[in-house]
Amino acid sequence: MSQNTNRQALIKADELEHFLDWTSKNGMQHEYDTIKHKIFIYHQACRLGDVRLPMTAVYAPEKAGIKWEEKNHILCMVKAGMAAVGYFENGINISHKVFRAYMVRKKQGKSQIKYLKTKGKSRAGSRVRLGESEIFFNQINERISNYLDTYPIDYIGYSCSKTLWPFLFKPGSTLQNNKHLLYKIPVHIQQPTYDRMLEINGLLLKATLRLEDVAPNLLAEYFEQNRESSHEDEQW
């Protein structure tokens, strides 16, 4: 497990049950949030922090623990002019595609979609960029549609700025029609490259512990007791 300066820590899957057992033995209580897929940790009505569970983990309150399931998922990461889409079986990447499009105005450095909020679209260059944008988002949805038609999918993790939502999730699109599978990736993604997608996949397969700003924080004791097991420095 590794801790960073933002009072967050990554917990490997095989360490998660040990951590939760440690909190219970030290008088802490758990409260599971189904929508957020998080366990909130309390001590005497004071919230100490929360643990976002790995996507392959299922909280089993009847057993006061975690059970594991094999899951298939899609990751879709989109920025203006670039996107990465991949299919994963039980955490292993089976297929992927990186998309690029001529969507950014060179002088202004902003996407044509953002530019249209304040300017017209009559120039030839603007029309070309708008056409590229439409093809770009259609290709993303078509790729995801192919995965859905070919494999059983448990969830679709996505990262996309709100400015682009109307184009990625337009009415009738594959993503719009499968909203029940969507899971917002809780990580800022600057460049949606293939390597970054693999990094994000690895993070989603681990738990993320976030500490509240309370003093003393009993959860911090876990890091002190298990300092020798900390050997990674991964940032969200």
Residue type, 67: K
Give domain status of residue 197, yes or no: yes
- Report the C-alpha dihedral over residues 226, 232, 233, 236, rounded to 10 degrees: -100
Give domain status of residue 235, yes or no: no
Q: How far apart are CA 167 and CA 137, in angstroms?
A: 7
CA angle 196, 202, 207 (to 5 degrees): 130
Total domain count for the chain? 2
pLDDT for residue 236? 40
Residue 87 tokens read as 């299919």
Per-residue pLDDT of the chain (236 residues; tens, 9 = 90+): 444 445 788 898 889 989 999 999 999 999 999 888 899 999 988 999 999 999 899 888 766 578 889 999 999 999 988 999 999 999 999 999 999 987 655 544 455 455 444 454 555 445 445 667 888 999 999 999 999 999 999 999 999 999 899 999 999 999 999 999 999 998 889 999 999 999 999 999 999 999 888 766 788 778 777 754 443 444 44
Same domain, 218 and 163: no
Q: Is 44 left (phi over 0), alpha (psi -120 to 50) or beta?
A: left
Same domain, 113 and 150: yes
Same domain, 76 and 193: yes
Same domain, 47 and 123: no
Same domain, 94 and 37: no
DSSP codes of every residue in 139-155: HHHHHHHHHHHHS--SE
pLDDT for residue 215? 62
Same domain, 126 and 151: yes
Q: How far apart are CA 233 and CA 10, in angstroms?
A: 9
Give domain status of residue 59, yes or no: no
Same domain, 93 and 138: yes
Non-local CB neighbours of 57 within 8 Å, separated by 6+ positions: 13, 16, 66, 67, 68, 207
Q: Note down the domain range covering 102.
A: 72-203
Q: Round the CA-based radius of gyration of the chain to a whole number and report it.
A: 21
pLDDT for residue 30? 92
Closest CA to 194 of 80, 109, 77, 81: 77
Same domain, 161 and 224: no
Give domain status of residue 97, yes or no: yes
Same domain, 106 and 168: yes
Give domain status of residue 64, yes or no: no
Strand, coil or helix: 102: coil
Same domain, 95 and 212: no
Give domain status of residue 121, yes or no: yes
Give domain status of residue 236, yes or no: no
Same domain, 152 and 219: no
Give domain status of residue 183, yes or no: yes
Same domain, 78 and 50: no
Closest CA to 103 of 121, 82, 124: 82
Question: Could you tell me the CATH number of the domain that includes residue 168?
Answer: 3.30.420.60
